[in-house]
A and B are shown apart, each in its own frame.
Chain A
Amino acid sequence: MARIGVFVCQCGNNIEGTVDTKKVAEEAQKLPGVVYSRNYKFMCSSPGQEMLKEAIKKHRLDGVLVSACSPHMHEKTFRKASDAAGLNPFRCEMANIREQCSWVHHDRTKKTGTVKGNDLTRMAIERLKRNRPLKKINIPVTRRALVIGGGIAGIQAALDIAEGGREVILVEREPSIGGNMARLSETFPTMDCSQCILTPKMVEVELNEKIKLYAYSEVEKVDGYIGNFTVRIRRKAKYVDEDLCTGCGECIEKCPFKAGSEFELGLTSRKVIYTPFPQSVPNIPVIDAPNCPKFQKDKCGACAVVCGPKAIDFKQKDTVVEEKVGAVVVATGYQMMPNERFGEYGYGRFKDVISGMQFERLASSSGPTGGEIRRPSDGKVPETVVFIQCVGSRDEAKGVSYCSKVCCMYTAKHTMLFRHKVKSGQAYVFYMDIRAGGKRYEEFVRKAIEKDGAMYLRGRVSRVYEKDGKVVVCGADTLSNSQVEIEADMVVLATAVVSRKGSDGLARTIGIGSDRHGFYNEYHPKLKPVETVNAGIYLAGACMGPMDIPESVNMGSAAAGKVLGLFSSEEMAREPIVANVNERVCNACWDCVVACPYSAIERFTVKNGQGDVMGMHAKVNEGVCQGCGVCVAACRSKAIDLAGYTDEQVFAAINAF
Chain B
Amino acid sequence: MNIKLVKEDIESALIRQLERISGEDVKKCYQCGNCSAGCPVAYAMDVPPAQMIRFLQLGRGGEAFGAGSMWLCVGCLQCYSRCPKNVSAASLFEALRQMRLRSGGGHEEVREIPLPFLKGAPQQALVCGFRKLVG
Contact = CB atoms under 8 A, between A and B. Distances in A.
Interface of A: 344, 390, 394-398, 432, 458-463, 474-478, 481, 483-484
B43 to A, nearest CB: 6
Given A478-B50, A483-B43, A397 B86 contact: yes
A396 B33 contact: no
A432 B36 CA distance: 13
Interface string B12-34: 00000000000000000011111
Nearest to A400: B84
Given A432-B32, A478-B51, A483 B85 contact: no
Given A462-B38, A462-B78, A481-B48, A397 B32 contact: no
Nearest to A461: B37
A398 B84 contact: yes
B48 A395 contact: no
A483 B36 contact: yes
A217 to B, nearest CB: 39
19 contacts: A390-B84, A395-B84, A398-B84, A432-B32, A459-B37, A460-B33, A460-B34, A460-B37, A462-B78, A474-B38, A476-B33, A476-B37, A476-B50, A478-B31, A478-B32, A481-B48, A481-B51, A483-B39, A483-B43
Pick the most buried of B30, B31, B86: most chain A CB atoms within 10 A of its CB: B31
Contacts of A478: 31-33, 36, 50-51
Given A478-B51, A481-B48, A396 B84 contact: yes
Per DSSP, are chain A's interface residues mostly helix, strand or loop, or mixed? strand
- Interface bin, chain B: 20 to 34
A394 B83 CA distance: 11
B83 A483 contact: no
Interface string B72-114: 0000001000111110000000000000000000000000000
Contact of B84 (A397, A458, A474, A475): A397
A423 B43 CA distance: 34
Contacts of B34: 459-462, 476
Contacts of A474: 37-38
A458 B78 CA distance: 20
B48 A460 contact: no
A463 B38 contact: yes
Contacts of A460: 32-34, 37, 84
A460 B31 CA distance: 9
Contacts of A476: 33-34, 36-37, 42, 48, 50
A397 to B, nearest CB: 5
Contacts of B50: 476, 478
A458 B84 CA distance: 16
Contact of B82 (A344, A432, A458): A344
B86 A483 contact: no
A476 B30 CA distance: 14
Nearest to B51: A481
Contacts of B78: 462
Nearest to A433: B30
Given A394-B30, A478-B50, A459 B86 contact: no
Given A396-B84, A462-B38, 4 more contacts: A397-B83, A459-B36, A459-B37, A462-B37
Interface string B119-132: 00000000000000
Contacts of B83: 397
Nearest to A391: B84
Contacts of A432: 30-33
Contacts of B43: 483
B38 A458 contact: no
